[in-house]
Amino acid sequence: MLINFAESIVDSSLTQWVQGTYWLWPVMEIIHFIGLTLLFGGLITVDLRMAGFLRSIDPASTHKLLPIVVFGFGLNLLTGILFFYGDPLRYAVNIGFQIKLVLVIIAGLNAALYHWKVDPLLRTTDRSLPPPAVAKFVAFISLGAWTGVLVLGRLIPYVGTG
């Protein structure tokens, strides 16, 4: 499926633009890194607090970081799509990229679980008590998935094809 999509866009004008603009790739790398910093930096605080660490921080104040996290994810989504368009046949068969996509999907489903189940539960839970097991589970899945995304993103140039 991913290979078919890559083959269908390999000659697109967007692919030609990304490949033909010599300054674009390094600028996208910088933006991708900034997005990752915003995403991961905010999530570390939110997830560690949700897992029961950093208990001196009010959980409501960690929620103020979520717009920054979403903005960072948006930067990474945009630049990630452009990276794929820039070399679709290489990315489509790269095992590191494929696993990274799976982890992003897992992280997204985990965020949905947080939004629909955990956040309402935490709003009604006594903050002096340890967090519920489901909150810890969601926090550690988030930290693990995004750490995997970070590591695999860095390994894409080195792991080759599957």
Per residue in 101-148, pLDDT (tens digit) is 999 999 999 999 999 999 888 888 777 788 899 999 999 999 999 999
Query: How confident is the model over 64-95, as pLDDT tens digits?
Result: 999 999 999 999 999 999 999 999 999 999 99
CB-based contact 148:100 (threshold 8 Å): yes
Nearest C-alpha neighbor of 39 from the set 77, 82, 68: 68
* The two structure tokens encoding residue 76: 């990474």
**CA 78 and chain centroid, separation:** 12
How far apart (Å, rounded) are the C-alpha atoms in residues 21 and 17?
6
Rounded to an integer, what distance in angstroms lies between the CA atom of residue 58 and that of residue 63? 9
Of 7-21, 31-45, 50-64, 130-144, the range with the lowest mean pLDDT is 50-64
Domain boundaries, the chain: 2-159
Max distance between CA atoms of the chain, in angstroms, equals: 58
pTM of the model: 0.88
The pLDDT score that the predictor gives to residue 120 is: 85
DSSP H or E segment with residue 102: helix 95-113
For residue 162, pLDDT beyond 60: no
> What residues pair up with 94 in beta bridges, in sequence order?
161
d(CA 52, CA 55): 6
Asked if residues 106 and 149 have their Cβ atoms less than 8 Å apart, the reply is no
Yes or no: say if 50 and 136 are a contact pair by the CB < 8 Å rule: yes
